[in-house]
Amino acid sequence: MLNKIKAIIKFFYHRVVLISLAIAIQLAVLIAVILRFNDYFVIFYWGSIIVSVLTVLWILNDKSNPSYKIAWIIPILLFPIFGGLFYIFFGGKKMSKREKKKLMAIGLKIQNALVPQPLVLEEIMLHDKGAVAQSRYIQNIAFFPPYKNTTGEYLPIGELKFERLKEELKKAEHFIFMEYFIIHEGVMWNSILNILAEKAKKGVDVRIIYDDLGCLLLLPRNYRQKLEQIGIKCCVFNPVRPVLSAKINNRDHRKITIIDGHTAFTGGINLADEYINEIQKYGYWKDNAIMIKGEAVWNMTVMFLSMWGYLKGVDEDFNKFKYNNPFKTEDQKGYFQPFADSPFDDETVGEIVYLNLLNKSNKYVYITTPYLIIDYGMTKALTAAAKSGVDVRIITPHLADKWYVHAVTRSNYKVLVESGVRIYEYTPGFIHSKTLVSDDEYAVVGSINMDYRSFYLHFECGVWMYESRCVLAIKEDFLSTLKVCKEITLQDIKSVKWYKRLIGTVLRIFAPLM
C-alpha cells in the first residue's frame, strides 16, 4: 500500500503532469472568462466576432503556407467566439523584440563566419548548370556554402552509426558538440555519456543541446544540472513551461555531432535505444545517418555554435573552433553542402531543396520519410515528376508511431498513386530515415521529414550532395529496403474502409496543426 501511495505521489509530482495541469487550468479559466463575458455582455460577443473576422483577414494576408491558413480559418469560422482569441494565443510564430534582435545578431555571425565559395560553384557549373542553381540557392539564402576536400560515409542503420559515433568520440582532443531532439537514458546514451564524461575530465570542451519537449517524458528533472556536474556544458532548447504559449510549436529537431571541427554526423538518428533496436517500439526501426570529414564540417560547426550562442546569449568567436589543417582525404570526389533551416526567417529552405531536386530530376527520385504530410505544392511537384516519366518512389512506415499522423500519411496515397508515384510501406516496422536521392548525382540526408512541422515550424538540418559516392550508397540502401516493403496499389487504397478514409480526410485538413 505504501509503495502504491508513493507511486501515485511520484506520478502527480512528475513535471509533465504538473505542466499539463497548469496549462489545463489556464485554458479552463480562459474559456470560463470568455463564456462569462458572452453570457452577460452583448458587446463582448460582437467584439469576439470582429476579432475573429480581423484574424481571418490577417491570416489570409500572411505569408504562411495556404494549407496552414486553412487549418486555422476553418475552426475560427466554426467557433468565432473562441477562434480568433485562440489564434492570438497559439497561432503564428510569435517572437519578442529581444528574441528577434538576438536572431538577427546570430544571422550576421553566421554570414561572417561562412565564406562564399565562388570557385567551387564555378566547378559545379562546369558539370551541371542545374546543380549549381541548387547549390547557389543554399549558399545565397541559407548562407551555407558548398565544399570539396570532404569525404562522406553513408550509415544505413542506427547500429552502424552508433559504432562509428563511439569510435570518433574516443578520438576527440579539443571539442565535442552535440545537438539532438531526443536523448533517453539507456544502452545508447549511457555508452556515449561515459565517453563524454571521460573526455570532459581530460579537458575536452563538451557541449550538448537537447530539445525540452522531445525529452520531456524521457529525461529526469534538472538533467542539465546533472550533466554540468560531470563537466559537460549543456543548453536546453525552448524549455516547456506551465504557461499557454505558441512557442511550444517551435522545436530543435536537428541531430548533430561535431568532433574537433573535422568530423561530423547528422541524419535521423536520435540518442535513444529504439534507434539502434536495443528495444523495439514499433517493430524493427530503420534509420540512417551520414558521417562527413573535411572542409564541409565547418558549416555544421557554425550551425551548432549559432544555436549555442542564441540559447546562452553569448558572443563567441566561431573561428576558434575552425579546423585549419589541410584535409587529407582518400576520396575527394564530389561536393558536400551541409545546411540549416530556421522557422523564423520566412524561407523554407528544407522544402525548397526538396522541390528543386524533384523539379530537376530526369530519371528517378527515391524518397524515404516517416511522415508524408504534404501541401498542394509538394503534391504537384511529386505528381508532375511522375507524369513526366520520372521514376518517383516513396517509402513510408507500415507500423505507425502516431496513428493520427499515419492516417494523414495514408490519406495522401491516392492522388500520388493515381499520378504514377509508387508508394511502399516498410513492413518490418518503422522507417525513420529522411533521404532523397536522384539520378545517381544528387542526394540529401538529414533531419527533415516531409511534413509541415519540419518544413515550417522546426529548426532542421541536412547535407546536400552532388557527385559523391554517398549518393550511390543511398540509392543502393533504398533499393535494398524495397525488398522488405509492400507496394501500395490503387486496389489497396480502394479497399480501405470508408470510415477510415473519412477520418484521414478530416485529419488532413488539420495536418498543419499536428
6 plus 74 within the same structural domain: yes
Which of 51-60, 147-156, 234-243, 287-296 is least confident?
Answer: 51-60
- DSSP for 355-399, please give it: HHHHHH-SSEEEEE-S-B---HHHHHHHHHHHHTT-EEEEEEESS
* Range 279-301 average pLDDT: 95
71 plus 125 within the same structural domain: no
Structural contact between residues 410 and 453, judged by C-beta atoms closer than 8 angstroms: no
Please give the mean pLDDT across all residues of the chain. Answer: 86
pLDDT of 12 > 50? The answer is: no
Phi, psi (deg, nearest 5) at residue 287: -145, 175
68 plus 12 within the same structural domain: yes
Note whether residue 36 is domain-resident: yes
The model's pLDDT over 400-417, given as tens digits with 9 standing for 90+, comes to: 888 888 898 999 999 999
Residue whose C-alpha is closest to residue 474's, from 511, 508, 439 = 439
139 plus 214 within the same structural domain: yes
217 vs 21, more confident: 217
Note whether residue 444 is domain-resident: yes
* Range 262-277 average pLDDT: 97
88 vs 294, more confident: 294
What pLDDT, on a 0 to 100 scale, did the predictor assign at position 123? 92
* Range 418-435 average pLDDT: 97
392 vs 238, more confident: 392
What pLDDT, on a 0 to 100 scale, did the predictor assign at position 57? 77
Name the grid cell of 202.
Answer: 581530460
Residue 431 is part of a domain; what is its CATH number?
A: 3.30.870.10
Pair type for strands 429-431 and 284-286: parallel
Query: What are the CA-CA distances from residue 347 to residues 245, 344, 353, 463 (Å)?
Result: 23, 8, 11, 17
* Interatomic CA distance for residues 183 and 344, integer angstroms: 25
* Range 162-170 average pLDDT: 98
277 plus 387 within the same structural domain: no
* Three-state SS at 18: helix
pLDDT of 46 > 70? The answer is: no
pLDDT category of residue 9 using cuts at 50, 70 and 90: very low
Rounded to 10°, the helix 15-40/2-13 angle is: 60
* Interatomic CA distance for residues 212 and 162, integer angstroms: 23
Q: How many independent structural domains does the chain possess?
A: 3
75 plus 120 within the same structural domain: no
328 plus 359 within the same structural domain: no
417 plus 442 within the same structural domain: yes
Note whether residue 387 is domain-resident: yes
Q: How many CA atoms lie within 13 A of 119 on its CB side?
A: 3
Which of 26-35, 277-286, 375-384 is least confident?
Answer: 26-35
Which of 49-58, 79-88, 146-155 is least confident?
Answer: 79-88
* Interatomic CA distance for residues 287 and 289, integer angstroms: 7
Most confident segment among 115-119, 449-453, 479-483: 479-483
What pLDDT, on a 0 to 100 scale, did the predictor assign at position 8? 45
Pair type for strands 422-426 and 391-397: parallel
Q: Of 90, 109, 128, which marks where a domain is finished?
A: 90
120 plus 101 within the same structural domain: yes
- For 374-467, where are the E strands, in sequence order? 391-397, 422-426, 429-431, 435-438, 442-446, 460-466
The model's pLDDT over 170-204, given as tens digits with 9 standing for 90+, comes to: 999 999 999 999 999 999 999 999 999 999 999 99
pLDDT of 11 > 50? The answer is: no
333 plus 363 within the same structural domain: no
Q: Of 339, 361, 386, which marks where a domain is finished?
A: 339
pLDDT category of residue 313 using cuts at 50, 70 and 90: confident
Which of 3-7, 129-133, 276-280, 444-448 is least confident?
Answer: 3-7
Rounded to 10°, the helix 80-90/42-61 angle is: 50
The dihedral of CA 431, 169, 301, 327: what is its sign?
negative
* Range 421-449 average pLDDT: 97
Alpha helices in 41-96 (DSSP H): 42-61, 66-78, 80-90
* Interatomic CA distance for residues 481 and 277, integer angstroms: 17
* Range 468-489 average pLDDT: 97
238 vs 341, more confident: 341
Structural contact between residues 195 and 168, judged by C-beta atoms closer than 8 angstroms: no
* Range 470-478 average pLDDT: 97
pLDDT of 243 > 70? The answer is: no
Note whether residue 344 is domain-resident: no
What pLDDT, on a 0 to 100 scale, did the predictor assign at position 330? 61
pLDDT of 33 > 90? The answer is: no
* Range 333-354 average pLDDT: 91
pLDDT category of residue 246 using cuts at 50, 70 and 90: low
pLDDT > 90: what percent of the chain? 60
Count other C-beta atoms under 10 Å from residue 111's C-beta.
Answer: 12
- Domain hosting residue 508, numbered range: 349-513
Query: DSSP state, 420?
Result: T
* Interatomic CA distance for residues 54 and 37, integer angstroms: 20
Structural contact between residues 475 and 442, judged by C-beta atoms closer than 8 angstroms: no
pLDDT of 25 > 60? The answer is: yes
425 vs 509, more confident: 425
What pLDDT, on a 0 to 100 scale, did the predictor assign at position 507? 78
